[in-house]
Amino acid sequence: MLTFESKDFIQLSLLLVIASFSIPIARKVSLVEIPILISLGLLFGPGLGVINHSFAEYMIQDFAGFGVGILGLVIILYYESHNINFRVIRKFLLNIISLNTVGMVVTSVVAGIFFSLLTGAPFLIGFLFGAIISPTDPSTLIPLFRKIKIKDDYSGTLIGESLFNDPLAIILVTLAISFIYSGSSYSTLFNSVTGAVGLIGGIPLFLVIQIAVPSVFGVIMGFGIIYLNKYLNFENLIVGLLLGVVLFELTVLYGIGITPFPAIIATGAIVGTFTDKSIFWSRESNFQENLSFLAQGIIFILVGSLITIGDITGYLLQGFILTLIVIFVVRPMAVFISLPPGRSKNKGPAKSWRTKTFIALSGPRGVVSVVEGAVPYSIGLLSGNALLLKWGLVLEIDVTFIVLISILLQTIYLPIVAGRLLPQDATQT
């Protein structure tokens, strides 16, 4: 007889098997793998019922205490940061900072207004919705840009934005939940900082803590491993060592309420930039690349499987309308307010209105939004707060649809938009 655990393992094995078929299917239809993966998730999830909703929800949000969503994102970011271009990040730093501050606040407010108008929810719930969908998704953008071979000078701002927008999203979600339910302990560190220095001083201090502390920690860990390897020579086991270090960074920083992503990125960038490129480091990079592809496959199949038939019949139209508003109204407003003509001191393609339009049309929502979308209802169940109980499930379902539809739409149209808006030299041959 199959036990509950063995049924989960069967579904996990099917996830891996199904993910492998995305490559030949994508090759046949000349698309990137991501929309194929999501479509397979929809087919084998709500379509055929092979992957059930509760399993998908557990895997994406709660597996091993973090969820495959966060664990997979960590693996993807660690590998991709091996090839991070510090010149590009430095060149577009002002744009990245502006998008990750002004742009995210504009997104939260404007998306909140539209959500309230469409659903009849109070603006505080609308603002919470806007905060949840404010970060863009590196696990979608990085593989997509690699697939369509857009040069760093054109994709750098978008990738930099997606890599570093998690801290402010945490602040905005925490603020929204605190306004709705003042007794929430969603972010105890934020509450401690603002309690010590006040809200006005606490917000920038919390933002600095969320970026500086993990970045320094990641740099120390990266150089520490390189230094140790010179004397101890871990050979093939450098793969396991670095994977363990990355998971250690995730666990420690997450445990004290600090976002781990800057640390993961810093460690990956140090390892990718300063190692001696021996055969063992090459094997480490190849292993992380394969693991990254595997994580990507599992994540996007699970995102497709999160939707239920009831969600489709009850919320599909609302989710689709909200997605179009977020992609084609809210995102362009946030980008053009954040990057107005003449503001950037950077020379080059980032000043072009065509490039800004491309940036405005590029902003899929992803794993972080899915995970944060489940928070309001969970807090409502624990606290009994009437607003969170009433609107929590609506937020969770709508956010899932926005993530799903935005990824599907943008992975299909961005290669076309890039060809129309960007110059011919924007892609690598």
Question: pLDDT at position 4, please?
Answer: 53
Residue 55 lies in a domain: no
Residue 49 lies in a domain: no
Domain that holds residue 238: 84-280+312-429
Q: In the chain, what percentage of residues exceed pLDDT 90?
A: 21
Residue 412 lies in a domain: yes
Q: What is the CATH number of the domain that holds 242?
A: 1.20.1530
Residue 177 lies in a domain: yes
Residue 271 lies in a domain: yes
Tally of domains within the chain: 1
More confident residue, 23 or 219: 219
Rounded distance, CA 200 to CA 70, Å? Answer: 30
Greatest pairwise CA separation for the chain in angstroms: 68
Residue 331 lies in a domain: yes
Rounded distance, CA 393 to CA 235, Å? Answer: 49
Across the chain, mean pLDDT equals: 83
> Where is average pLDDT lowest: 12-26, 158-172, 335-349, 405-419?
335-349
Q: Which of 12, 37, 13, 17 is nearest to 25 (CA)?
A: 37
Residue 250 lies in a domain: yes
Per-residue pLDDT tens for 142-168? Answer: 778 877 778 777 788 888 888 778 777
Residue 191 lies in a domain: yes
Question: pLDDT at position 110, please?
Answer: 97
- How many Cα neighbours within 13 Å face the side chain of 193? 22
- Which two tokens mark 73? 């994102």
Instruction: Evaluate whether 156 touches 90 at the Cβ level (below 8 Å).
Output: no
Q: Which span out of 67-81, 267-281, 382-396 was modeled with the highest average pLDDT? A: 382-396
